[in-house]
Amino acid sequence: MELMKCVSHQQASQLLHNKFVVVLGDSIQRSVYKDLVLLLQKEKFLSTRQLKSKGELCFEQDCLVEGGSFDKMHNGTAYREVRQFRSDHHLVRFYFVTRVYSSYMQSFFEDLRNGLKPDVIIFNSCVWDISRYKSSWLENYKENLHMFFTQLKRNVPQETLVIWNLTMPLGKSIKGGFLVPEIEHKASHLRYDVIEANFYSGTLADAYGMDVVDLHFQFRFSLQHRTSDGVHWNAIAHRKITSLLLEHSAQAWGVSMPLAAVANTEVGAHWPANENSTPTERHPSRRNYSYGERQFSDFLTNPAPHYLAQLPLRSGFDYRPPNGHHQQNVMRRQRVRLHYVPYVHPKYRH
């Protein structure tokens, strides 16, 4: 029985109390969104059906805002899907994108300008970019990355935590919705293109002052959790992704959040074996970073007010700037920025 360290439902719910989280990207990022939505409500893993479904009208109390089942379902680059989960104290939104910067992204930036300001933005766009548009993708991809990061810097507050996820490892033999017959000849070397694309996107995100979480590195020895299509990943992998992202968010906000060991058998599902898998190399236990005197448990008995209640910021938050320790799950520790009270931040007042 393999044990892994995970963020619990209670920890996730409390850490993101009164927070607005935006997730952008492809089908893998949609599963990142789904696992986060599920964890905010209950201590369960995603089912196989939930991972494979797309465009459904409702998933675990969320709603389809646009695209998906409202329109014709297809695997083209024009496919759109916007989802949103809203509870008394949480707001999570997902945008399906097939290109890191395009005319469609203008609607996303319009939402940023006119709506609530996100506390966290989690984003990745790569596989569609380098396979579906141009055979010589490199210069175009770098140009679009520059355009997207520039617009993001202009339209989000400085205190917003922006996390760029590097693309996870692809298999030798792959199949998926993005891999239409016209580009099947690219499948054999796409995994190498992803490595090159990760280098450029991670370097540029770092240069623009954003946090970079290297999921390719994190899952290089966890290929047994990749599904048989060589592209997607099972519920165990997605819970680990959620834990990595929330652990880093807690550290960025100056909160110590110890993770609990969970048995993989709790997933309760049998996943198709991947012929490209290799034996697991157990990841060493991560150190417990504490950036201040306040512990995560302090907030469990002192919750923040309703997300939409227009209450003043609570004073007396005991925050200390992060120390010099480097977060081992992040390419580069983001430079110290002006911080805010992480559990009560009604940005609609700004």
- Would you say 225 and 219 are in contact if contact means Cβ atoms under 8 Å apart? yes
Q: What is the CATH number of the domain that holds 223?
A: 3.40.50.1110
- Cα 298 to its chain centre, rounded Å, is 26
299 CB-near residues (< 8 Å, 6+ apart): 14, 17, 255, 343
Which range marks the domain in which residue 65 is found? 3-349
Question: Torsions phi, psi of 222, nearest 5?
Answer: -120, 35
**Residue-wise pLDDT tens digits, 153-165:** 999 999 999 999 9
For 84-93, 218-227, 287-296, 299-308, which range has the lowest pLDDT when averaged over its residues? 287-296
Instruction: Give, in order, the Cα–Cα distances in Å from 303 to each of 139, 152, 288, 318.
Output: 48, 31, 23, 15
For 260, other C-beta atoms within 10 Å of its C-beta total 13
pLDDT at 148 over 50: yes
Please compute, for residue 152, the number of CA atoms within 13 A of its CA located in the half-sphere on the CB side: 27
SS (H, E, C) 100-114: CCCCCHHHHHHHHHH
The count of structural domains within the chain is 1
- Would you say 168 and 219 are in contact if contact means Cβ atoms under 8 Å apart? yes
- What is the spatial distance between Cα 13 and Cα 20, in angstroms, rounded to a whole number? 12
pLDDT at 263: 67
pTM of the complete model beyond 0.85: no
Question: Torsions phi, psi of 174, nearest 5?
Answer: -125, 155
- What is the spatial distance between Cα 83 and Cα 99, in angstroms, rounded to a whole number? 18
Number of H helices, E strands in the chain: 10, 9
Query: Which has the closest alpha carbon to 242: 24, 96, 87, 40?
Result: 40
pLDDT at 302 over 70: no
pLDDT at 298 over 80: no
pLDDT at 239 over 90: yes
